Each structure stands twice: as C-alpha cells, then as structure tokens.
Amino acid sequence: MSNTASTTDSILEFMSFRLNRLCEMTKSSASGFYEREFGIGLRELRVLRFAGLEPGLTLTRLIELVLLEKTVTSKLVTALAKRGLLRREVGEADARQLNLYLTAAGEALVAQTYQRGDVLEKMFLSVLTEAEVQTLDRCIDKLTAALIEHQQGADAQAG
C-alpha cells in the first residue's frame, strides 16, 4: 500500500472528518428539502428560528448562534427583511445596534418548518434504537462541553 493510500485511509477514520461529513450531508439534505417545500434554505431558516427563540436579538448575538461569518449573516438578514420575514429595529439602548424580530409571515413560516423538521429528524434517526439516540445525544453533549472547556482554557492562556 502506498503512503498516499495509507494517509487517505487514516484521514477517513478521523472522528472529526466523519462528523463533519455527516453534518454536511445532513445540512445538504435538509436545505434541499426546505428549499423545495418552503422556498427557503437552511441557513436562512436558522436565522429565522433564532430570531424566534430570542426576539430582539442583535446581529452580534445571531452570529454567535448561527456560526456564520458576519458578512454572510448580514446578507441573510437583509434578504429575509426584504422578503418580509424578519424585521430590523434600531436598538433603544444603543442606536448602533439592530434588534431582530420575526414578522407574522416569519412566525408562520417557522411554525410550519418546525412541524416538517420534526418529521425529518425522526426519519433521520429512525435507523437508531431509542437507546442509541440517547447515547448519541449524551456523547454529543459531552464532546461539545469538552471542546468548549478546552477553547476557554486556550483563550485564557492566550489572554
């Protein structure tokens, strides 16, 4: 076996690669579904859902939640506002900030997508037993907490 084949095989075994691949496949499938059913992509939908969960959230807070670049998030917000799904208001405490709210049309769309999203998630997880779903959930929580703790430690050392 050549070094290249050996390296490729080992790359494919990395848990981070496998998780990223699963995530990308899931996002691609879900985005296509939401675009066909509702005329909205997954990134746009996530912006709307977070605006619904935290009415009045700022762009800065939204960026933290959706894990997208500032310019991408800003463009999504602008496009959603133009479509009448999201409302931007100048912040009362700080006029430099914009607070984001769902419009009635945005609320209706989010409600519909949650109903269909529940069906999608059940289909996705249907290959696992209930015990496997619970184990996966605990493992994801544990890995996430460990990475957050590691990052906070790295940030503290850098600061």
pLDDT tens per residue, range 102-123: 999 999 999 999 988 888 899 9
Q: What's the CA angle centered on 85, arms 82 and 87, to 5 degrees?
A: 75
pLDDT of residue 9 exceeding 70: no
pLDDT tens per residue, range 37-54: 999 999 999 999 999 999
Q: What is the pLDDT of residue 158?
A: 77
Question: Using CA of residue 33, residue 37, residue 39, residue 45, what is the dihedral sign?
Answer: negative
Grouping H, G, I as helix, E, B as strand and the rest as coil, residue 98 is strand
Q: Encoding tokens for residue 30?
A: 């879900």
Q: Residue with structure tokens 């605006």?
A: 51
The pTM is what? 0.80
The rounded distance, in Å, linking the Cα atoms of 129 and 138 is 14
Ramachandran region, residue 67 (left: φ > 0; alpha: ψ -120 to 50; beta: rest): left
